[in-house]
A and B are shown apart, each in its own frame.
Chain A
């Protein structure tokens, strides 16, 4: 890539200007962290009169409209901002990209220090104390998220159990490989659908990997792109899916905590707990991850992603099948 085409120059020039009133403000160390076809994440430091501030830019790649299953970055920014203002541990949104910036869509948020990779936290003694209290903290944060009023924020998708079940059933049917265990799960999920679940904001992807943890505890709840209105118990079930326990099934909450601590945190912050429906959503989440693994084979087969990793993920569907049997078969 030649210097002329380097997108960092444009981004740095624009953001220094937008983020600070200081005419000498500079964007330093702009570094692309990750990014798939749909989204880029950049880290950088803003240096101005106030000092040095570590920040993150998330944006859709230039010239692309929003694609993918999640909400738009503009909507995500609005929800994260609301969460942060309400005292939830969400990053602070510093700036939302405007059309005249010509940097595509996206937003700038505070960069919170910590660790998201559970394998690292589990190994590092510095996280021992944080991990002990984490399930309770997760419960308390979830209760606060579920209490957020977002009625004035337009276009938040509504996605209760029934709609999601139909969507995943269609994804599964469309793929065509017969999976008797998924059939069993679909049947069970149809028969045990929670009745009269309230409709609240749901984070949608509250699990290891999206939780920034510092040695002091939960530092930030990241990745709000699957946020929607639905059954709040969905979030509690999702973080307990065995695939997120990273080989520590004895700790149902993300491999680090016990259900009673998650529940205690939830109720201490005023959450209305329905434990039976947490189990329902645990089964649901396991099925979802299984169907996702199955469908990721498509992106390999169509040539959209020919990596060996993408090919191999189809063989992770069987892990959710054994988990589903562990959940659905009673002694």
Chain B
């Protein structure tokens, strides 16, 4: 077990440094890339917080949907094959909910302000 601060706190400290201290002193391309870097640190912080539980839930849904066990990557690969072959479609019980839940949390981590996420929440609510 590592000592405090935890990863999320450490990443947050670097993000604040970039945004509040470094960015105002930079310009042009360097400033642009520093802003992107700060955004990437925010992705890392959100993934640290939301990722483990999201992956666990995705794993459980995949096992139920496919009736199989395996790693997250294996089960996703298996689902891809089934969709490609036409064995699983949007009419299949549970697929729509699974894809919406999985994708909404992915975007919540990558880009929580993305307009498409807002549209999805308006249509289907928060999962």
| Interface set of A (CB-CB < 8 Å, partner B) | 178-181, 183-184, 186-187, 242, 245, 247-249, 307-309, 311-312, 315-316, 318-319, 321-323, 325-326, 328-329, 331
B120 touches A326 (CB 8 A): yes
B90 touches A179 (CB 8 A): no
B110 touches A178 (CB 8 A): no
Interface residue ranges of B52-109 to A (CB < 8 Å): 73, 76-77, 79-80, 83-84, 86, 89-90, 96, 99-100, 102-104, 106-107
22 contacts between A and B (CB under 8 A): A178-B73, A180-B102, A184-B99, A187-B84, A242-B115, A248-B115, A307-B33, A309-B32, A311-B40, A316-B110, A319-B114, A319-B116, A321-B103, A322-B114, A322-B117, A323-B116, A325-B99, A325-B103, A325-B120, A326-B116, A329-B90, A331-B123
A322/B107 contact (C-beta < 8 A), A178-B73, A329-B100 known: yes
Distance between B43 CB and nearest chain A CB, rounded to angstroms: 6
A contact residues around B43 at 8 Å (CB): 312, 315
Residue of A nearest to B40 (CB): A312
B contact residues around A187 at 8 Å (CB): 83-84, 86, 89
B contact residues around A180 at 8 Å (CB): 76, 79-80, 83, 99, 102
Residue of B nearest to A323 (CB): B116
Distance between B119 CB and nearest chain A CB, rounded to angstroms: 5
A247 touches B36 (CB 8 A): no
A322 touches B40 (CB 8 A): no
A316 touches B111 (CB 8 A): yes
Among all A-B residue pairs, the 5 with the closest Cβ atoms: A178-B76, A183-B83, A318-B106, A322-B116, A315-B110
Let me know if B126 is at the binding interface, CB within 8 A. Answer: no
B contact residues around A307 at 8 Å (CB): 33
Report the Cα distance A176→B17, complex, angstroms: 36
B contact residues around A309 at 8 Å (CB): 32-33, 36
